[in-house]
Amino acid sequence: MAKDAVSLRGDPIQRLGCYVVEGLLARKGTYIYKSLESKYLFSIMQTHYQISTTLQFGYLAANETIAEVMRNEDHIHIIDFQIGQGLQWISLLQTLAARPGGPPHVRITGIDDPVSQFARGGVGLEAVGARILAAIPMEDYIPIEFNGVPDIAQNVTRGMLNVRPGEALAVSFPLVLQQVPDGSLNGNNLRGQLLTMVKSLSPKVVTLVEQDLNTNRIPFVHRFEETLDYYLAMFESMDVILPRNNQDRIDVEMHCWGREVASVIAWDGETRLLHHQLFPKWKTILTETGFRQYPLSSNAYSEILSKLSFNSEHYTLVNQNGALLLAWKDRYLISFSAWQC
């Protein structure tokens, strides 16, 4: 009955329903997702960044905060635990290049799962550095080094990061920690180990971007309801960006959000890949690891607000408990916070 009521081209609840049904089918042993050819996934990921207000908010907030914290530093090392295509750093590099007194020397260490090369157009991480350099105009010259670490976040060790004395270190966790198991099922707290390792590096700032929903340690029925409520807001927000028959919209919904919906509903226990938490829980986790919140200045907040393009009055940006939360109507979608040792 549910399959007859859903549609990839319908209204938001019908579109979301397609992936809810797939998640329920997967619980019965039928999971239909296949890997895309690299050229298609690369294009879809580019489109996702271009049209996603939530992604743009997360990257913009991280860039503004790092620029503020590093305003007086001459040697900066950015460790990005999910580099993707890498173009999210262009605006920060241009800001740093325009600093009075000349640009700093910047190193970027880009970490990503080797499988994610399909989202990069079938290329290895070494090509990400070249792409970043190629995207910076000649007039915005800034000395840059790039190092790729092809592995998933929880496997990264201190020795893989080549941290050098005298560098001011910024660590970026863009939608990463929700993918790292917390040991609640098998006692192996990989997320805690990762955060402890990062703290040992004494970073000047750590930026954290996370989807604001709870799917981690709750029974299936509550997880189902939370997933439905959260992603309905996401699908509704897309209605003001692209027409319902637009193929780019359908592709992004299917291969970005739809995969998440189906996965969260389908898998229980250790097989589930996403472990979402609400911001108050992330605050507790970071604080217990020994981090303290970096208070975002009013200037940085104003810059983020001025640069973020809202295409609907239903979006609001809230400064709450030291974090910035982007909401659609009354539903928080994504949180940004910054941390120091």
pLDDT tens string 223-278:
999 999 999 999 999 999 999 999 999 999 998 899 899 989 998 876 778 889 99
Q: How confident is the model at residue 138 (pLDDT cuts 50, 70, 90)?
A: confident
Q: What is the mean pLDDT of residues 77-89?
A: 92
**What kind and span of H or E run contains 109?**
strand 105-112
Q: Are 204 and 72 in contact (CB under 8 A)?
A: no
Integer angstrom CA distances of residue 220 from 19, 25, 196, 233: 16, 15, 30, 20
Q: Would you place residue 117 in the very low, low, confident or very high pLDDT band (cuts 50, 70, 90)?
A: low
- Domain boundary assignment for the chain: 74-211+278-299+318-340
Whether residue 327 has pLDDT greater than 60: yes
157: three-class secondary structure by DSSP: coil
Residue spans of alpha helices (H) in 239-319? 247-252, 259-266, 279-289, 298-307
Look-up of token digits 């200045």: 297
Residue 297 tokens read as 């200045």
Helices then strands, counting H and E runs in the chain, come out as: 12, 9
Say yes or no: domain 74-211+278-299+318-340 is CATH 3.40.50.300: no
- 94 close to 87: Cβ distance less than 8 angstroms: no
Those residues with Cβ within 8 angstroms of residue 156's Cβ, 6 or more apart along the chain or in another chain: 81, 111, 149, 194, 197
